[in-house]
Copies of this chain bind each other. A is one copy, B any other.
């Protein structure tokens, strides 16, 4: 195998990679053409990149920084969080900060912004001990985004944005009827991030509804089949196209820890 100097210019590295691929194949079949195309895009992007220092980011306009830093963490989940207060007033809010915490016991996390102003979702979760996570689908993502408006406290986003609340026997918080992947959670713990005052809420999965046809043999839920979307940045909504599921990596004995 050709070994490249660590400091070789990326263009040279790619030219060599390209050459190797072409040599390995008899002629430029569709596979090679696709690789060539990808490499040329990659090459162009690498030679035309922009680097920001921490100071550059601090000096940015607030909106620019907000959009940029919200995007760079990568793709995020797209959920509507349903809650209710002690008097039964319902609240519905869009979040891109639902995360996996653990499977045994089954736990999800929800990051909420600093509690410097009233946060209905947070208050309701603390008041009743329950919340629901409802995946957002293509048919209603624009209405889901609309729940991000700063509605008056006495207005239910369910009604204002055209969603129907749905209750199970167990879960005190309302589900979104339009949603087909729905999770009912009870409040477990919260932890504050000191650096900026955000709060990570941990919920225990108490109830879970998914379309039967999205459940694969090994328990995996095919979110693409269920129509769940993904969010990037604050406001960009995306469908997905699966490339593959990859197998659990089992290494040969001479490479692995347990040897």
Mark A residues whose CB is within 8 Å of B: 4, 6, 10, 13, 35, 38-39, 41-42, 44-46, 48-54, 57-58, 60-79, 96-109, 111, 133, 135, 137-139, 141-142, 145-146, 148-153, 155, 160, 164-165, 170, 177, 180-181, 183, 188-189, 191, 193-196, 198, 200, 202, 204-216, 218-224, 226-230, 232-233, 235-251, 255-259
Contacts and interface: CB of A to CB of B under 8 A. Distances in A.
Number of copies: 2
Given A101-B193, A139-B42, A241-B238, A205 B108 contact: no
Contacts of A54: 106, 204-207
| 3 A-B pairs closest in CB distance | A74-B77, A64-B219, A75-B230
B189 A191 contact: no
A45 B211 contact: yes
Contact of A48 (B38, B79, B148, B213): B213
18 contacts: A6-B164, A13-B177, A49-B180, A49-B210, A50-B211, A62-B104, A64-B219, A67-B216, A67-B219, A68-B220, A69-B100, A69-B103, A105-B195, A152-B259, A221-B233, A237-B245, A238-B241, A240-B240
Given A54-B106, A68-B221, A221-B233, 16 more contacts: A6-B165, A39-B139, A42-B227, A45-B213, A53-B207, A72-B183, A74-B79, A75-B77, A75-B223, A75-B229, A76-B77, A149-B251, A151-B257, A189-B194, A189-B195, A223-B232
Contacts of A241: 238-241
Nearest to A4: B164
B142 A246 contact: yes
Contacts of A145: 246, 249
Contacts of A53: 170, 206-207
Given A195-B101, A196-B107, A212 B243 contact: no
Contact of A209 (B51, B77, B100): B51
Contacts of A226: 45
Contact of A256 (B152, B220, B257): B152
A238 B235 contact: no
